[in-house]
Amino acid sequence: MIQWQQEFKNSLRTPNDINAFFGTDLKDIEYNSFIPKSFAQKIKEAGPQSSLWKQFIPAQQENEQIDGMYDPIGDTTHAKAKQLIHRYKNRALFLPTTVCPIICRYCFRKNELTFKDDLFKADFQNTIQYLKDHPEIEEIIFSGGDPLILSDEKLREYLEAFANVGIKCIRFHSRVPIIIPSRLNENFIQLINEFSSKFQTITLVTHLNHSEEISTEVEAVITKLKKETNLLLLSQSVLLKDVNDNSDTLADLFWAIHKIGIRPYYLHHPDLVKGGMHFHLDLETGRKIFLQLRDKIPGWLIPHYILDIPGGHGKTPAFNPESLEFSGTLIDRYNKIHRYKNMQ
Ligand code: SF4
């Protein structure tokens, strides 16, 4: 077994495993637990007040939430085949796995992944048929679960099939570069280089929310990818209560992301996810933080601050230059107005 697969296998998988490793006192948690021991050691060293602990150690509050939605961004509304979500005209999300390198306690797909929603059942022939019938789809976004937890062989099979139906761009959204950086090894680099002539762009969007997540291993791996591949390296972050909800922490994060050679792309306002509502903050607070952030970092370093309108209506800018106060409605890309309940 290669190193990264060994790291993945050697993981804490239950509240009891977590209690034994961290000395916590968790009872039954309704949602899955999963932390590779190599990353658990980093969390332990960072301690209970750290952003790592707050993001990845389960909390008893997850069980007690009545607010929040099972599918906050309306994945199922746009599911066109199993594992395929077509929400925007020229791009589609592909969900090849429910497995992640760690379980982020705030995850927007927390319920769909835990309860193994039908959406994740494989039916690749239908996916390919749908893409053949919809040549307007130019980009496939591998999401999940985490697509980079798949073997190189499986990724090769998918990339080959997408190249054969004329997909122009590939994008991976992944937490793997932060949690198991050793997965992005020589073989992975070879795989990316093998396909870089078959697609116009291959993008890796690394998910990270705090500068504490950037270890020396992460920096080394990203530097190598930058040198040895044509990957477009972007980031996405989620604004999370008590993790990164102030402009100084975010400014540190985006400078740290820039320093390792990644361009900040998205800052997501947290979704209204059942079991993750203790990370939620209201839109006025988010706007105030973003306003302060604009004063602390240059324009080229500022990500798009966006919010997914519940019900599957897609992303919309979360910042409003006309008002920090929230009116109670949001406008989607078709100029339709939607009510949005700003919970705290
Ligand atoms: S890696 Fe992504 S999909 Fe998996 S738990 Fe974290 S946020 Fe959710």
pLDDT in tens, 36-80: 999 999 999 999 999 999 999 999 999 987 889 999 999 989 998
Measured by CA distance, the residue closest to atom 3 of ligand 1 is: 145
Q: How far is CA 339 from CA 18, 43, 146, 167, 302, in A?
A: 40, 39, 31, 35, 27
Comparing C-alpha atoms, which of 298, 284, 338 is closest to residue 315?
A: 338
Measured by CA distance, the residue closest to atom 6 of ligand 1 is: 104
- Please give all residues whose beta carbon lies within 6 A of any atom in ligand 1, as ranges: 100, 103-104, 107, 109, 144-146, 175, 207
Pair of tokens at residue 107? 């995850």
CATH architecture of 3-339: Alpha-Beta Barrel (3.20)
**Shortest-distance atom of ligand 1 to CA 101:** 1
**According to the model, what pLDDT value does residue 64 have?**
80
Residue range 224-277, pLDDT digits in tens: 999 999 999 999 999 999 999 999 999 999 999 999 999 999 999 999 999 999
Half-sphere exposure in the Cβ direction for 117 (13 Å, CA) = 20
What does the alpha-carbon distance between residue 284 and residue 207 come to, in Å, rounded to a whole number?
24
